[in-house]
Amino acid sequence: MKSFILLLSLLIIGNFCAAQQSYILSGIVKDKRGEALPGAGVYVSGYKIATVSNNDGSYSLPLKPGNYDILAQLIGYKALNKNVIISDKAIKLDLILEESITQLNEVTIKPDPNREHYIAMFKDFFIGTTPNAAQCKMINPNVLMIDYDQDNALLTVKCNQFLIIENKALGYRIKYLVNNFEYSRKTNIVYYQGFPTYEDLKGSKHKKEVWNKMRLTAYLGSPQHFFKSLYHKKVTEEGFIINKLKSIPNSNRPKDSLINANIRRFTQAQTFTGNIHLTMGDSLNYWIKKKNLPKEVSVLSKVPVLQDTLARLTTEPAIQEINFTDKLYVVYTKEPENPAFTGRIGFAISRPPDYFGYQVSTITLQQPPIYFYENGGIYNPRSMLFSGYWAWEKIADSVPMDYLPPANLEEKK
């Protein structure tokens, strides 16, 4: 069974430092001719922070020190993103929008009969297949630019306008500028990178209470929660166990040279004898089965990985890094895994009896080290692959980077 792996890819980089001082990010939204654009939405990627440019195109956002991606959007113009670092003073940042050239003519000339199928695939691998995903709706899938490479079995999606997703499970309206989405059928690896913003949906008092409970459930045990806990050295206190999943040679699988030699020998013998002797066929089947065995097997080491030795400071303020060998085997013990996940083909990870029912995920290094911020945001998302529970939960189970669990957490739970 192939393990379905998700490459974490939300490039939502913002970072709230301990200092309470905020500084003003301001500027003018205008077109390439220098004319002011009133009514443009200005958002902070990954957060619920947004404003609208006024009549002279000006905007203003109070931000704490950190690294942010600023997004701007106006109907008739391409969505724009700009990175800005807030340190110890106010920042001026003008946002220049480019008029949008629609893809409508191209779509009309080259209609794709498989487009709906590809959109459905994208929805499953981007929004997810969890119970929360079932309550999500893409409002404007027409903005998606889709390509499928038959030779490489690779689905790629992007857009230059915000994809709007209504998440009625968590009460969010998500605007996501998809820079790149890839799903490979050959490797079962999903990668997506872009810039999301969050807005609260309107609802009754009761509905908001339900959403708050669901948001807390989505946050607890998530990668965001894990890396935030790791940054503050509260992994154990927050309910996480970190072990190592080591790969060792499979002692039940002979060397390739021996396997291939015996397969050739018995194949030739069958050709000469017409496969009269059953033992000959049995021997061939034996060596074919050996060839199909994995070259390596995974062994779980339950010796705890200490957070003090795993996470290290960097030369950049408020950024930490982790680098490790083998795989990190992360167990969240304060919430059971969702029944909809249990036994799900391609996602579930083997675990010892004392981990049964817990949320189990693994982290595989791709491009080490992994850099992460105080709020749990990842600086370099291509640095790692997720499998298990974290690969199952996607956009439908995400919360903004400025989400804060209630102070009286145990009472809320």
pLDDT of residue 11: 39
pLDDT of residue 272: 55
Q: What is the CATH number of domain 23-97?
A: 2.60.40.1120
Place of tokens 């000469």: 272
CA nearest to 188, candidates 386, 371, 368, 379: 386
pLDDT of residue 392: 95
- Is the distance from CB of 215 to CB of 275 less than 8 angstroms? no
The residues spanned by each domain of the chain are: 23-97, 223-253+293-392, 254-292
CA nearest to 253, candidates 244, 245, 262: 262
pLDDT of residue 289: 85
DSSP 89-116: S-EE--EEE-B---SHHHHHHS--TTHH
CA nearest to 231, candidates 389, 403, 17: 17
pLDDT of residue 13: 39
Contacts for 275-284: CB closer than 8 Å, 24+ residues apart: none
Could you tell me the pTM of the whole model?
0.81
Kindly report, residue by residue over 299-312, the tens digit of the pLDDT: 999 999 999 999 99
Q: How far apart are CA 45 and CA 375, in angstroms?
A: 13
- Is the distance from CB of 158 to CB of 183 less than 8 angstroms? no
> What is the Cα gyration radius of the chain?
25
Task: Write out the two tokens for 65.
Answer: 């020190």
pLDDT of residue 273: 53
Task: Write out the two tokens for 142.
Answer: 């027409």
pLDDT of residue 276: 44
Task: Write out the two tokens for 91.
Answer: 């920042």
Task: Write out the two tokens for 396.
Answer: 């439908």
pLDDT of residue 285: 85
CA nearest to 14, candidates 198, 173, 170: 198
What are residue 166's DSSP bridge partners? 137, 173
CA nearest to 7, candidates 196, 138, 183: 183
- Is the distance from CB of 384 to CB of 332 less than 8 angstroms? no
Per-residue pLDDT of the chain (413 residues; tens, 9 = 90+): 344 444 433 433 344 333 458 899 999 999 999 999 999 999 999 999 999 999 999 999 999 888 899 999 998 898 898 999 888 899 999 999 999 875 434 444 456 789 999 999 999 999 999 999 999 999 999 999 999 999 999 999 999 889 999 999 999 999 999 999 999 999 999 999 899 999 999 999 999 999 999 999 999 999 999 999 999 999 999 999 999 999 878 778 888 888 888 888 877 766 555 544 445 456 888 888 888 887 777 899 999 999 999 999 988 777 899 999 999 999 999 999 999 998 777 777 889 999 999 999 999 999 999 999 989 989 888 899 999 999 999 999 999 999 999 877 655 55
What is the number of helices (H) and of strands (E) in the chain? Answer: 9, 23
Let me know the angle formed at the C-alpha of 91 by 35 and 83, rounded to the nearest 5 degrees: 80
Beta strands in 47-153 (DSSP E): 50-52, 58-63, 66-73, 80-86, 91-92, 95-97, 136-138, 145-149
CA nearest to 391, candidates 357, 341, 353, 336: 341
What are residue 340's DSSP bridge partners? none
